[in-house]
Amino acid sequence: MAQADYEQLNGIALAYLGDAVYEVYIRTYLLSLGMSKPNRLQKKATHYVSAKAQAALIDLMEEDGILNDEEWSYFKRGRNANSYTHAKHTSVLTYRMSTGFEALFGYLKLSGQDKRLDELSNWCIEQVDRGRIEHED
C-alpha cells in the first residue's frame, strides 16, 4: 500500500487519519478491560475521544511539556486548518483544538513513529483514567 506524504497533507487530512488511529487505541484499550457491550463501549469511549477530551489532553500536553517542536507544528497545522464542518456539541475553539490533536496523531502514524504513537496514546489514556480531565456522563 502506498504511503501518503504527510509533509504535503493539510491539517484536515491528517486529522481524518488521526481520528481513526486514536480511536483504535481507545477501542483496543476498552476491550482489554473486558468490556464487550457496544452501548457501554461507546459511552466509555467518549471520555477519551470527544472533542472536549482531546482539547483538554492537548492542554495537559502543553502543561506537562511532552510534545517536541515538530509535534506542536503538526498540531497547529490541524488546529489552524480551515474546516467547513464543526462539532455539534462544542465550541469552535474546542473543535479546532481537537482537530489539531487528531492531526498530530495522523502525522505520527504517517511518519512511521509507532513507538511515539504508543507513548502518547498510553499517556492520554492514563490522564483520563487518573481524572485529570473532566467528562460528562
3-state secondary structure of 27: helix
Closest CA to 49 of 69, 35, 30, 32: 30
Q: Which of 19, 69, 114, 129 is catalytic?
A: 19
Locate 87 and state its grid cell. 462539532
Phi-psi region at 50: left, alpha or beta (left = phi > 0; alpha = psi -120 to 50): beta
Q: Is 114 a catalytic residue?
A: no
Q: Which residues are catalytic?
A: 19
